[in-house]
Chains A and B, each alone.
Chain A
């Protein structure tokens, strides 16, 4: 199940674990990503907490925990090669995996159509 947030993040749910990354739109807005900082495995976040940092040459942004949960895996590949975030933001450029406290909370997020509408309205 693929969902989106207003902070331009995507979540892909598998069981109770959601893979989290930034959307293609967000990656384009940031420009060439030069640095990614990821959370520690085991870190617990509440929805809206700053969980990771992504920086381009001209902008810096927090990546927020999209829902309550704890981090079970992080993508070291984007730390070593931040360009992956631009090359494949919604695939190999994922940031971390979050075990959700409550998978029903996914229902409150946007689906693909709603997110595309958001992107178009802000363009």
Chain B
């Protein structure tokens, strides 16, 4: 694939991205027992599955070449000052947060905090986020973020439907809600059989006719109201009240909780996260205590560790799709951890007084702007506003909008005769003067005099917020920097060690790929910026889409979905619309193998589909007879089959074409979950195998970092016949199938995937896949004898991941998969995926990015653990007081009295652990049961140590 012998120091694919050197690969091939990488790939991926034409994207770019290309593309975007508003605002990310969090691999390369002992830092930051949200909204409990404001509104609607005791089937939507929110609500309501009523909450709301309602606070054109009265009416009819609130406004205004709202949602974008042409940003959801079990998404809670010391963890996981599957509260899996951490740090950085001061400054700018426009004779609405006004301009709308652009400002069109203006933290005096000039006020000059406040006394906030000491720390940058560093040091991310999580593809997130995301030309565009100002983004999205189509064999991509689960939802919605267009809307059955990821059935349910589970055989493959029988039994009602390829068991099933054929023969469409695409790029294409639609996880295969649990991107690809049914957006002339708030999802992180494709080119991408497969087979081979590797293909090879069976250790030594995972932390590793897809096993995915030395360190650790278990089996080690049961070991263990039947050295320096660079977990094993029995989801009092109940 790659020309041998020639050394190119600028070769990104081989010298940066792919871990094992050519010499190391030769040794790995020898251990695996093959002559060449070609031979291994031939034995792993059958000829009939393979693509016939190699991937070819021309010459690979060097890092410098790719950065030049990014610069050239960025320069095609024009950064004007956005006063568009509509849910997206200019904001200032404090430089200390930019450098220490957003640009710090200790934060952005971490995984979702499912293993709490190595995630205490970001769990604390997320707990700060939850405290921030619940304080600002005046509600009891908030989760650790959702994907964007529009989907948060949809989650709130679904949650309202779950908890309401009203029998009504309609959901009322305030006409002042953001247009993209209304579009997503309509999209999400329809397949669930719910109807949407849009209107004025004070005139059109019939509480008896709805199970819930959502109000925007302040509204899209700046108006705000006290919703206490309509909320009381809703409650009298047993309906649920949702308020979509701007968190900055809530520092000045009466919070939704004090209006007796049941749920609040919104976007935390303006807390320091740039607009990024649409994302990523953290949305929030908060509710009252009584409804906490119906909250969707991830929730951080406080618990204790084995010593009774405080420790954080993800709480109430039984609500989520990986346990509840089609009965889950939502299909949501990815959150927006990195943006949520940034929002929480922004609040720590400014504190309550600072946030309030920012809000007041923003309000003063709005008031000055309005006073100036009024002095020019324009009619301004509303009388009371926070940061947004609408100006009546009659027939001059087009002219003024154009003038504004000439002065470097984008405004918002409202109807045919009004213009909306929203100011923010970044708005400067010169910006206000530019707006006045656009309206003809050439002589108006900015004055520092305080304008009259336009916030009504009755709605001013009286209650305090952010009273916890964490929001009152000394904000000297020295202290802030150390706080961020301390939290980062508690966590184990890719910058310290391999994260061999099966199905998660924790590969290199190269620095060169990351650099452009903070460039103003990518970061500071509003998602509804006029197209002619975003030509760079257009080129990026078009070229990346073309490359992803070439990789997958699909004909078009939609970048709108913000996560894999959103991609599934968008894909199923596409299929649904296709069937409907053919007069076959009765097709509503979705076949899903029992081994599927939990998001699959959860997404199918959200699309109003009936899930029929197909059996898998002893080898982990789809049971073809069962599949055929169920496809035929459902015949005319078959909508789709959802398959994962290679399978969730890590095998290239050779029956995949037959499964697609059976689906098609019965009139169904095939959805292919692209979670395992890292095993396919350059070797096989879903589109060639028979898939009609499928998503890609750009945060897996295409190098977007996991951010400690988000952001992600889950664009979908479709075959030509499905193109007319792809997601659309109200800003681009649609709104029937809108799955995200922004038309292109989270564009500011797309330069990462694009740079990756440009620097790897076709041959490099293909080689990455081949080496990912080699690394997995190398681990499987090295662990042979100590552990059984389950589910190999016909010729005994695994794909890009392998499942090792640890159940014999449970039977013989009483050592559970948890014990092994926690012991791996002592060895300095993030544990592999536990008990999925097979209970009691570990699924290991090394990716192509790990060097042989790191793979060996991991294998040594696993083999060392096997020996420790053997000592227990043989009776040489106690069954309960041993290094596996007591793992992970902390410094607290060492400084206390040592009364264990093994040495301190054995405890802390097991095979694989570094001696000098040892990772010390900050807590002992976290007590999950205590945390769920004693739920606390906001910052606990400082300096108190909880004692375990037992």
Contact = CB atoms under 8 A, between A and B. Distances in A.
B727 to A, nearest CB: 32
A82 B318 CA distance: 15
Contacts, number: 28
B933 A83 contact: yes
A57 B293 contact: no
A100 interface: no
Contacts of A37: 293
B388 interface: no
B392 interface: no
B688 interface: no
B460 interface: no
Nearest to A61: B318
Interface in A63-96: 82-83
A59 B318 contact: yes
B323 interface: yes
B67 to A, nearest CB: 46
Contacts of B323: 58-60
26 contacts: A32-B929, A34-B932, A34-B933, A35-B293, A35-B318, A35-B932, A35-B933, A37-B293, A55-B318, A55-B932, A56-B318, A56-B929, A57-B317, A57-B318, A57-B928, A57-B929, A58-B317, A58-B318, A58-B323, A59-B318, A59-B323, A60-B318, A60-B323, A60-B324, A82-B933, A83-B933
Interface of A: 32, 34-35, 37, 55-60, 82-83
Contacts of B929: 32, 34, 56-57
A100 to B, nearest CB: 27
A55 B929 CA distance: 11
A21 to B, nearest CB: 19
A35 B928 CA distance: 13
A118 B232 CA distance: 53
Contacts of A83: 933
Nearest to B934: A34
Contacts of B293: 35, 37
Contacts of A82: 933
Interface in B286-322: 293, 317-318
Given A32-B929, A55-B932, 7 more contacts: A34-B933, A35-B293, A56-B318, A57-B317, A57-B928, A58-B323, A60-B318
Interface string B387-421: 00000000000000000000000000000000000
Nearest to B323: A60
Contacts of B324: 60
| Of A56, A58, A83, most B-chain CB atoms within 10 Å | A58
Contacts of A34: 929, 932-933
A60 B324 CA distance: 7
10 A-B pairs closest in CB distance: A34-B932, A60-B318, A32-B929, A57-B928, A55-B318, A34-B933, A57-B932, A57-B929, A34-B929, A60-B323
A32 B323 CA distance: 16
A69 B214 CA distance: 39
A83 B318 CA distance: 17
Nearest to A62: B327
B473 to A, nearest CB: 33
A35 B935 CA distance: 11
B320 to A, nearest CB: 10
Contacts of A60: 318, 323-324
A35 B546 CA distance: 50
Contacts of A35: 293, 318, 932-933
Nearest to A32: B929
A37 B292 CA distance: 13
A82 B932 CA distance: 11
A57 B929 CA distance: 6
Contacts of B928: 57
A46 B431 CA distance: 67
A34 B934 CA distance: 9
Contacts of B317: 57-58
Nearest to B320: A60
B817 to A, nearest CB: 11
Nearest to B928: A57
A114 B813 CA distance: 32
Contacts of B932: 34-35, 55, 57
A34 B323 CA distance: 15
A56 B293 CA distance: 13
